[in-house]
Structure 1
Amino acid sequence: MTEGLGQLTDGVCGLDDFTHSHVYNVWPGYDYVGWNNESFPSGYVEIMFEFDRTRNFTTMKVHCNNMFSQHVKAFRQVVCYFRSESDWEASPLSFSPVVDEKNPSARFVTVNLANHMASAIKCQFYFADAWMLFSEITFQSDTAMYNTTLAPPKTGLPPNIQPEDDPTHKIDDSNTRILIGCLVAIIFILVAIIVIILWRQVWQKMLEKASRRMLDDELTASLSIQSETFAYNHNQSSTTSEQESNSTYERIFPLGPDYQEPSRLICKLPEFSQSSEEPASTSTAASKSTIATIVQDGAPHYAEADIVNLQGVTGGNTYAIPALAMDLLSGKDVAVEEFPRKLLTFKEKLGEGQFGEVHLCEADGMQEFMNKEFLFDIPEDVPVLVAVKMLRSDANKNARNDFLKEIKIMSRLKDPNIIRLLAVCIYSDPLCMITEYMENGDLNQFLSRHEPEGQLALLSNAPTVSFSNLCYMATQIASGMKYLSSLNFVHRDLATRNCLVGKKYTIKIADFGMSRNLYSGDYYRIQGRAVLPIRWMSWESILLGKFTTASDVWAFGVTLWEILNFCKEQPYSQLTDEQVIENTGEFFRDQKRQIYLPQPVLCPDSLYKIMLSCWRRNTKERPSFQEIHQALLEIQP
């Protein structure tokens, strides 16, 4: 293969399981380029990389699959040859990574190139098993700078005859021209920045006028046409041109692990301009994702700048925390102990995100590290099933700080229906937090394996769950959310996939769902990344980017609908993602054309009324979690 590297430079790293892909409807292994050792008698694959100029190379990073159960391993050795001018260097560089036959995760292998100067590199990758699969190859380098005074200029004259001009003087003159050129370029850049700032101010005024005209015309919220303004922007100041697309969300850009930020034009909608509950805001939006925390009557309102936004290991935020509450929490020491890593036994990987991974492990002797207030019903000599959130060792400083903040927050959450932080490993890398994990897994998988009590279950001999136990589980979720809302915490991803099931139908709320490939279809995918659980989100969260206790109530209504359907189908399964987004526009317009989730077969009218109350258009008209919890207690058989 020649003329480009294709998949090796597309910026998408392959999954741990190479038989799956980030992209739907493609063949298995699409993200990888692979070779079989039977096709290479020499025992290695040779790839030559040619560059536009001579560069000073520091490292090469190769993303390799290591699924050794399928006879796939990272390369055993790489030998690199360097060409600086026309000839290859006589002595190549050799590197052998550590062979890992315990962890099947894909990984980046970093090869130190020792600052070699080269315009081309030829790499021979040696097989460690039958197959070798790469998904990305990147180089870190600087442009090589040569002192041209070390060699005489090429004049075409005999060696003993040189021109009278001083070559050093010529070089100095050339450097002066370069310096002048750089100064001129800087001046042009500064002028361009000033022009852009002035243009933005004019453009904002034009947007305000346009929005007023839209309001006069009753502001139709059609999300299905390309000229639609209900789109999330990565940044208001972005001037990057995008490729044309027929996608409904045409101007969506990844914001790291966070949800996307709405454009300022969306903040001019009637929901803001006509209601005293949610005043319009024309101030500059926070650079992080916008989370407007709106609490029940009498509670304070939290503006965007008052929210502590944590990146989270799993690719999303555990909770949106009001800054006031965060300040109170951060004043205390973390009340969890350091746990010995050697006592953790890896079972399986639950999921991964941009900043780390979540593993299911067994912990030996965990009972000795627990507070007295936390009681295990497991004997001391039996390992405890735990979930371990692990931050990648190469995570940036902000991710590390957010990880430690998340530990502080999790250590303060003490409720029977919220997953508890048990211990940490923070004395060395990688940083880990160890939380509870329930033996029956998540509620979505648990219910999908069961059937409602009745004749059909008897015929199929399937395990059953009674209606009273369904209500009991829903009541526990409401209780856990009531606790979070009392702290003004916003979960933002409440669903059955984020509820874990223990013995006797015990439920605890967690946050692992977004990181799991199993539930990637539950999230609206943007450029191959799962970021928005739109089928559980309220209309104001999708259109306005507002995540509040009231939007958590909406998600609870969808979660209750899942439970009563035994998680046999996805919410709005008859609608595409684009149609779900269009339906939120109907909620915004409130012309009685919006589609609600249908009443499940097992759901009595009293429970369906609770669901419908959670999906009311006006956030103030939705019930609080305290009211929902009380209503579910009264309904329980």
Structure 2
Amino acid sequence: MLIWWFLTDSFHHLLLCSVIRVSVVCSNGCCGVPGVCRYPLGMSSGQIQDEDISASSQWSESTAARYGRLDCEEGDGAWCPEITVEPDSLKEFLQIDLRSLHFITLVGTQGRHAGGIGNEFAQMYKIKYSRDGRRWISWRNRQGKQVIEGNRNAYDIVLKDLEPPIIARFVRFMPVTDHSMNVCMRVELYGCEWLDGLVSYNAPAGEQMSLPAYPVYVNDSVYDGAIIHSMTEGLGQLTDGVCGLDDFTLSHVYNVWPGYDYVGWNNESFPSGYVEIMFEFDRTRNFTTMKVHCNNMFSRHVKAFRQVVCYFHSESDWEATPLTFSPVVDEKNPSARFVTVNLANHMASAIKCQFYFADAWMMFSEITFQSVQCLHNLDCPSPEEDPTHKVDDSNTRILIGCLVAIIFILVAIIVIILWRQVWQKMLEKASRRMLDDELTASLSIQSETFGYNHNQLSTNSEQESNSTYERIFPLGPDYQEPSRLICKLPEFAQSSEEPGTLTHKSNQTVTVFKDGVPHYAEADIVNLQGVTGSNTYAIPAVTMDLLSGKDVAVEEFPRKLLTFKEKLGEGQFGEVHLCEAEGMQEFMNKEFLFDIPEDQPVLVAVKMLRSDANKNARNDFLKEIKIMSRLKDPNIIRLLAVCIYSDPLCMITEYMENGDLNQFLSRHEPEGQLALLSNAPTVSFNNLCYMATQIASGMKYLSSLNFVHRDLATRNCLVGKNYTIKIADFGMSRNLYSGDYYRIQGRAVLPIRWMSWESILLGKFTTASDVWAFGVTLWEILNFCKEQPYSQLTDEQVIENTGEFFRDQKRQIYLPQPVLCPDSLYKIMLSCWRRNTKERPSFQEIHKALLEIQP
């Protein structure tokens, strides 16, 4: 079956698409921040076709709508309306049809430059949008302002965040002027596809809560439908991608009133005891779950709903039997949370839900749906059907049988043709190369021949780890092992691990590669939950035993000295909070020094185990504390103290004042003329190299202990004073970076754009795969984190590209050399992305090379 991979590109694509389906997850859930769901939608690249771009008028054929593409100079260089734009006139517009609903977070505009010939631009503009092409809505920001500041010259690109974002298929740019003038525009839209399919929700209007100090308005202030006594035919706060704070009485980051992000109702206004919300969708869908982000500040008489009853509209009428769900009432933890409602694969084009009060108030900030579009009944079985049995339909069986027969005939023909030609030699050569490089040999060896010690483990860093990833919003608590889940492709049928095994006295199983490197099986690997989030380090059992053999070297810290600042993220069993710790200096050992006066609080990250965590999670948490207390490196986040004498269990770690490296660099610009003109803060090339060197140093330390990080990226590096870097692990748990992780069929969630080909296709995570991720991280740094790796590729194309690395026919796509990157640094990146894991440099070699580059 290995020969199937090499038959044709189209057949390879068919195999890959049938086994692996990936979908971006940023368009529903709590995204709502810069850096997530901000992909160019195709004006500049040409992905949006000319026929999908129209305008109210055009000055000439060479300034037609199709020339209104950002950063393009075709035609006369831009779209220009036929007549001069007058003040208060909104007759002229440039319209874009995206063909489907999209979540749009950012827009870009540019004037007509045309190589110095043109000098027309729009100083201001408004945006109108539509989901159906009939009803047009004027966008307004969170303060109610509609006019957006545009360009000040004809050549610079001006990007503007849409706060709130819009959900639309059609978008119009409408130039606005305060005096009569000629305008021309080039534009781009940024966002991602709206996967929910939700086109409107109808609900009672939000209400006002009277507090002693001030009123709190929990109305839907950005709802784009009609609002009288109720909200109809629109979308708003419940779909803007922003989750409300735990304490709804605090103002959010947008300088608006307290309670802004929530829509809330008082039970006194609803004698029936429930609030009814109806959701309408673009088509009939097969619904799996609904996630409702609820406030639970019970000290203010606010709780998540007590019960929800959902009715489904399918075909032409409402189903008679509703679905009922009652969540567990939590009166201990006041944090806001997502409540997941299992919709049991109901088919519907509309859902009507009745949310019952559990206290005086009920407040929601986000409601999202997970569903599959129903193209025909085969796609969407009814909930009564047993998914373990075939559909008892004769026509369906005949159709499936015919398709299977056709596929087998085509495959047989292709195999026969290619077998008689020169492909046979190529296949034999490729098979030998793969067997030499990557595949295992079947060996039967007596257990007495094996003996391992710590020194051997330290020099041998290619131990495979299991691939257990914790959930991210908005997908739910999904744990899978990619090595068992993905890529059961034909070419791997002979290359999957079928080595000989041996049994130690400890009942641990070890497999051996052809090159003699020990390959640790599941029993030998300890999955250690990361310090501040949901990444899981992989540690050989022997190494862990050596590290955890002593008592915990950290002290108990009084909980009352912790002041909550912000929730950083959460996983299935724990939450990560940003806190201020008073008097932390008194509890630290002499090895650790704070550059903060003793009378000032220290900024820390606090990982807290939830009260409902099971016994295994509790044991893992204590084990994690013991292990992480032993990690001592200037470029690794340190464990400072613990709270384990009472529940909830907490561990307190360092937190750097400048946040993570991704956000830090995205707020800065490289030194140069452009930065001077924009007055933006800068970071020098020398400091970029300095930060990259520190990351390599920290990874060198982890690799010396045989730790496999598995999620190295700028989002998992924290920045302190003087560009100090410390490696952390909580990127996956943060809503901010949900767009960096992708969902593979079978419910695995993986950062595929940072992963090596063998990690994606074989499920192998080693120090060599961490080296690959370091190369991508270095690429991010030199691009100032302005774009995602492989931003020009879809998620399916990223995985297909890993297949090109596997085949090694010189058709794989590498990340391009950044503008600021010298050849010497790009060579380091390319060495990290070598196909053969043994040819990639070690972190010690990378660290040494970076030190030599630094001036």
Which residue, 813, 835, 843 being the options, matches 1:625? 843
Are residues 121 and 576 of structure 1, via their aligned partners in 2, closer, same or farther at CA, if it must alter by over 3 Å?
Answer: closer
Counterparts of 2:375 and 2:807, CA distance in 1: 62
TM superposition shift of 1:106: 2.3
Q: Are the counterparts in 2 of residues 295 and 488 from structure 1 also a CA contact under 8 Å?
A: no
Q: Are the counterparts in 2 of residues 253 and 526 from structure 1 also a CA contact under 8 Å?
A: no
TM superposition shift of 1:193: 39
Are residues 191 and 364 of structure 1, via their aligned partners in 2, closer, same or farther at CA, if it must alter by over 3 Å?
Answer: farther
Moved more, 381-390 or 210-219: 210-219
Are residues 108 and 176 of structure 1, via their aligned partners in 2, closer, same or farther at CA, if it must alter by over 3 Å?
Answer: closer
Counterparts of 2:278 and 2:446, CA distance in 1: 43
* Residues 315-357 of structure 1 deviation map (CA, whole Å, 9 limit, x = unaligned): 6334111100111122111100111100000000000111111
Are residues 90 and 208 of structure 1, via their aligned partners in 2, closer, same or farther at CA, if it must alter by over 3 Å?
Answer: closer
**Local SS of the residue matching 1:268:** coil
Q: Are the counterparts in 2 of residues 232 and 251 from structure 1 also a CA contact under 8 Å?
A: no
* Residues 434-462 of structure 1 deviation map (CA, whole Å, 9 limit, x = unaligned): 00000000000000000000000000000
TM superposition shift of 1:105: 2.5
Moved more, 426-435 or 213-222: 213-222
Q: Are the counterparts in 2 of residues 65 and 105 from structure 1 also a CA contact under 8 Å?
A: yes
* Residues 472-493 of structure 1 deviation map (CA, whole Å, 9 limit, x = unaligned): 0000000000000000110000
TM superposition shift of 1:299: 7.0
Are residues 323 and 198 of structure 1, via their aligned partners in 2, closer, same or farther at CA, if it must alter by over 3 Å?
Answer: farther
* Residues 574-611 of structure 1 deviation map (CA, whole Å, 9 limit, x = unaligned): 11111111111111111111110000000000000000
Matches within 5 A, 1:151-550: 260-262=480-482, 301-311=519-529, 316-526=534-744, 531-550=749-768
TM superposition shift of 1:306: 1.0
Q: Are the counterparts in 2 of residues 36 and 131 from structure 1 also a CA contact under 8 Å?
A: yes
Are residues 137 and 290 of structure 1, via their aligned partners in 2, closer, same or farther at CA, if it must alter by over 3 Å?
Answer: farther
Counterparts of 2:287 and 2:831, CA distance in 1: 62
* Residues 389-431 of structure 1 deviation map (CA, whole Å, 9 limit, x = unaligned): 1111100111111111111111010000000000001111111
TM superposition shift of 1:142: 33
Counterparts of 1:100 and 1:206, CA distance in 2: 63
Q: Which residue of 1 aligns with 2:370?
A: 140
TM superposition shift of 1:525: 2.5
Counterparts of 2:507 and 2:393, CA distance in 1: 48
Which residue, 554, 568, 575 being the options, matches 2:793? 575
Q: Are the counterparts in 2 of residues 50 and 120 from structure 1 also a CA contact under 8 Å?
A: yes
* Residues 373-399 of structure 1 deviation map (CA, whole Å, 9 limit, x = unaligned): 111111110000000011111001111
Q: Are the counterparts in 2 of residues 234 and 255 from structure 1 also a CA contact under 8 Å?
A: no
TM superposition shift of 1:552: 0.2
**Local SS of the residue matching 2:651:** strand
Are residues 81 and 521 of structure 1, via their aligned partners in 2, closer, same or farther at CA, if it must alter by over 3 Å?
Answer: closer
Q: Are the counterparts in 2 of residues 315 and 354 from structure 1 also a CA contact under 8 Å?
A: no
Q: Are the counterparts in 1 of residues 564 and 579 from structure 2 also a CA contact under 8 Å?
A: yes
Gap regions ≥5 residues in structure 2? 1-230
Counterparts of 1:361 and 1:510, CA distance in 2: 16
Are residues 164 and 578 of structure 1, via their aligned partners in 2, closer, same or farther at CA, if it must alter by over 3 Å?
Answer: closer
Moved more, 82-91 or 61-70: 82-91
Which residue, 57, 69, 78 being the options, matches 2:299? 69
Are residues 126 and 366 of structure 1, via their aligned partners in 2, closer, same or farther at CA, if it must alter by over 3 Å?
Answer: same
TM superposition shift of 1:632: 0.1
TM superposition shift of 1:132: 1.7
Are residues 167 and 358 of structure 1, via their aligned partners in 2, closer, same or farther at CA, if it must alter by over 3 Å?
Answer: closer
Counterparts of 1:169 and 1:269, CA distance in 2: 25
TM superposition shift of 1:66: 3.3
Counterparts of 2:439 and 2:392, CA distance in 1: 64
TM-score normalised by structure 1 residue count: 0.64
**Cα RMSD (Å):** 13.8
Counterparts of 2:677 and 2:582, CA distance in 1: 42
Counterparts of 2:256 and 2:744, CA distance in 1: 17
Gap regions ≥5 residues in structure 1? 148-158
Moved more, 459-468 or 209-218: 209-218
Are residues 146 and 574 of structure 1, via their aligned partners in 2, closer, same or farther at CA, if it must alter by over 3 Å?
Answer: closer
Counterparts of 2:577 and 2:685, CA distance in 1: 33
Counterparts of 1:546 and 1:24, CA distance in 2: 43
Q: Are the counterparts in 2 of residues 64 and 107 from structure 1 also a CA contact under 8 Å?
A: yes
Are residues 111 and 562 of structure 1, via their aligned partners in 2, closer, same or farther at CA, if it must alter by over 3 Å?
Answer: closer
* Residues 4-39 of structure 1 deviation map (CA, whole Å, 9 limit, x = unaligned): 999999999999799999999999999999756575
Counterparts of 2:779 and 2:389, CA distance in 1: 81
Are residues 272 and 323 of structure 1, via their aligned partners in 2, closer, same or farther at CA, if it must alter by over 3 Å?
Answer: farther
Counterparts of 2:646 and 2:340, CA distance in 1: 21
Counterparts of 2:742 and 2:505, CA distance in 1: 23
Counterparts of 1:335 and 1:237, CA distance in 2: 24
Q: What is the percent sequence identity of the aligned residues?
A: 94
Moved more, 176-185 or 326-335: 176-185
Bigger fraction of residues in helix: 1
Q: Does 1:104 align with 2:323?
A: no
* Residues 471-514 of structure 1 deviation map (CA, whole Å, 9 limit, x = unaligned): 00000000000000000110000000000000000000000100
**Local SS of the residue matching 1:309:** strand
TM superposition shift of 1:309: 1.3
**Local SS of the residue matching 2:520:** coil
TM superposition shift of 1:74: 4.0
Counterparts of 2:768 and 2:252, CA distance in 1: 33
Are residues 502 and 110 of structure 1, via their aligned partners in 2, closer, same or farther at CA, if it must alter by over 3 Å?
Answer: closer
Are residues 74 and 6 of structure 1, via their aligned partners in 2, closer, same or farther at CA, if it must alter by over 3 Å?
Answer: same
Q: Are the counterparts in 2 of residues 424 and 434 from structure 1 also a CA contact under 8 Å?
A: yes
Counterparts of 2:591 and 2:760, CA distance in 1: 40
**Local SS of the residue matching 1:571:** coil
**Local SS of the residue matching 1:574:** coil
Q: Are the counterparts in 2 of residues 258 and 315 from structure 1 also a CA contact under 8 Å?
A: no
When the two structures are aligned, how many residues end up with a matched partner?
622
Are residues 68 and 473 of structure 1, via their aligned partners in 2, closer, same or farther at CA, if it must alter by over 3 Å?
Answer: farther
Q: Are the counterparts in 1 of residues 465 and 525 from structure 2 also a CA contact under 8 Å?
A: no
Counterparts of 1:608 and 1:197, CA distance in 2: 42
TM-score normalised by structure 2 residue count: 0.49
Are residues 575 and 2 of structure 1, via their aligned partners in 2, closer, same or farther at CA, if it must alter by over 3 Å?
Answer: closer
Counterparts of 1:54 and 1:498, CA distance in 2: 40
Are residues 596 and 133 of structure 1, via their aligned partners in 2, closer, same or farther at CA, if it must alter by over 3 Å?
Answer: same
* Residues 208-258 of structure 1 deviation map (CA, whole Å, 9 limit, x = unaligned): 999999999999999999999999999999999999999999999999978
Counterparts of 2:673 and 2:817, CA distance in 1: 21
Moved more, 99-108 or 318-327: 99-108
TM superposition shift of 1:180: 40
Are residues 474 and 458 of structure 1, via their aligned partners in 2, closer, same or farther at CA, if it must alter by over 3 Å?
Answer: same
TM superposition shift of 1:261: 2.8
Bigger fraction of residues in strand: 2
TM superposition shift of 1:366: 0.3
Which residue, 314, 317, 340 being the options, matches 1:87? 317
Counterparts of 1:617 and 1:534, CA distance in 2: 16
Counterparts of 1:433 and 1:110, CA distance in 2: 28
Q: Are the counterparts in 1 of residues 530 and 537 from structure 2 also a CA contact under 8 Å?
A: no
Are residues 360 and 230 of structure 1, via their aligned partners in 2, closer, same or farther at CA, if it must alter by over 3 Å?
Answer: farther
Counterparts of 1:592 and 1:193, CA distance in 2: 27
Q: Are the counterparts in 1 of residues 526 and 540 from structure 2 also a CA contact under 8 Å?
A: yes
Are residues 35 and 172 of structure 1, via their aligned partners in 2, closer, same or farther at CA, if it must alter by over 3 Å?
Answer: closer
**Local SS of the residue matching 1:389:** strand
Q: Are the counterparts in 2 of residues 553 and 623 from structure 1 also a CA contact under 8 Å?
A: yes
Q: Are the counterparts in 2 of residues 288 and 309 from structure 1 also a CA contact under 8 Å?
A: no
Counterparts of 1:134 and 1:619, CA distance in 2: 49
